[in-house]
Structure 1
Amino acid sequence: MAAGRGAELLRPPTSAGRATFLELFFDLAFVVALTRVSQRFADVRNDTGWALVTGFGRTLLLFLALWLIWSHTTWITSRYEPERWVIQAVVVGTMFAGLVMAVTLPRGMEERALPFAAAYLTVMVVRPLVVAAALRGHPRRLVPFRLAAWAAASAPLWLAGALGPDQLRLPLWAAALAVDYLAWAMGWPLPWLGPAAVGGWRIAGTHLADRHQQMFLIALGESILVIGMVFSGTDYSAERAAAFGIAFLTSALLWRIYFHRAGLLLTDALGRARMPARLGTATERTHLLIVLSVLVTSVGYELVIDHPYGPSRPGWLLFVVGGPVLFLVARMRLEYEIFGRVPRSQIIGLVTLLLFTSALARWVPMVGLSVVAAVLALVALLDALRSRGRPLEVTASPIGRETSGDRDSEA
Structure 2
Amino acid sequence: MTNGEESEPGVLRSAENSQRATFLELFFDLVFVFALTRISQRLITDFTDRRSTLLSEAGQTLLLFLALWLVWTFTALVTSRLDPDQPAIQLVVVGTMFGAMVMAVAVPKGFGEHAVIFAVAYLALHLGRTLFLFLVHRRDRDVPLRLFIWLGLSAVPWLFGAINDDAGLRAVLWTIAILLDYGGAVAGWPIPKLGPAPTTEIPIAGEHLAERYQQFLLITLGESILVIGLTFSGASFAVDRTTTFLISFLTTVLLWRVYFHQAGHLLPVAITTARQPARFGRSMSFSHLFMIAGIVLTAVGYELSITHPLEHTSPVWLYTMLGGPALFLAGRAQFEYQVFARVSRSRIGGLIALVLLTPAMLLVPPLAVSSAAAAVLAAVALADALRSRRRTMPEAPTPPT
TM-score scaled to structure 2, two decimals?
0.95
- Tell whether the 8 Å contact from 1:124 to 1:147 is kept in structure 2 after alignment: no
2:279 corresponding residue in structure 1: 278
1: CA distance, partners of 2:163 / 2:379: 50
Once the 2 structures are TM-superposed, how far is the Cα of residue 27 of structure 1 from its aligned partner? 0.4
2:189 corresponding residue in structure 1: 188
Could you list the per-position Cα deviations for residues 168-189 of structure 1 after superposition, in whole angstroms to 9, with x for gaps in the alignment? Answer: 2111111111111111122212
Once the 2 structures are TM-superposed, how far is the Cα of residue 166 of structure 1 from its aligned partner? 3.1
Once the 2 structures are TM-superposed, how far is the Cα of residue 32 of structure 1 from its aligned partner? 0.6
Root mean square deviation of aligned Cα: 1.7
Could you list the per-position Cα deviations for residues 272-326 of structure 1 after superposition, in whole angstroms to 9, with x for gaps in the alignment? Answer: 2232112212211100111110000000000000000112211100000000001
- Correspondences of 1:173-184 after superposition (within 5 Å): 173-184=174-185
2:48 corresponding residue in structure 1: 46
1:345 corresponding residue in structure 2: 346
2:166 corresponding residue in structure 1: 166
Q: Which runs of 5+ in 1 are unaligned?
A: 400-411
- Correspondences of 1:6-405 after superposition (within 5 Å): 7-46=9-48, 51-136=53-138, 138=139, 140-167=140-167, 168-198=169-199, 200-388=201-389, 390=391, 391-399=393-401
Change (3 A) 1:211 1:199: farther
Could you list the per-position Cα deviations for residues 249-287 of structure 1 after superposition, in whole angstroms to 9, with x for gaps in the alignment? Answer: 000000001111111111111122232112212211100
SS at match of 1:265: helix
2: CA distance, partners of 1:259 / 1:115: 37
Q: Which runs of 5+ in 2 are unaligned?
A: none
SS at match of 2:262: coil
Q: 12-21 or 22-31: which moved more?
A: 12-21
1:409 corresponding residue in structure 2: none
Once the 2 structures are TM-superposed, how far is the Cα of residue 200 of structure 1 from its aligned partner? 4.7
Q: 316-325 or 333-342: which moved more?
A: 333-342
Bigger RCO (CA 8 Å, 6+ sep):
1
SS at match of 1:262: helix
SS at match of 2:373: helix
Q: 269-278 or 70-79: which moved more?
A: 269-278
Q: 290-299 or 346-355: which moved more?
A: 346-355
1: CA distance, partners of 2:165 / 2:8: 45
TM-score scaled to structure 1, two decimals?
0.93
Change (3 A) 1:192 1:258: same
- Tell whether the 8 Å contact from 1:160 to 1:172 is kept in structure 2 after alignment: yes
Could you list the per-position Cα deviations for residues 129-175 of structure 1 after superposition, in whole angstroms to 9, with x for gaps in the alignment? Answer: 10110013x1x112112111211121121111111113221111111
1:407 corresponding residue in structure 2: none
Could you list the per-position Cα deviations for residues 54-84 of structure 1 after superposition, in whole angstroms to 9, with x for gaps in the alignment? Answer: 1110000000000111111011001111111
Counterpart AA for 2:238: S
Counterpart AA for 1:143: V
- Tell whether the 8 Å contact from 2:321 to 2:369 is kept in structure 1 after alignment: yes
2: CA distance, partners of 1:198 / 1:363: 51
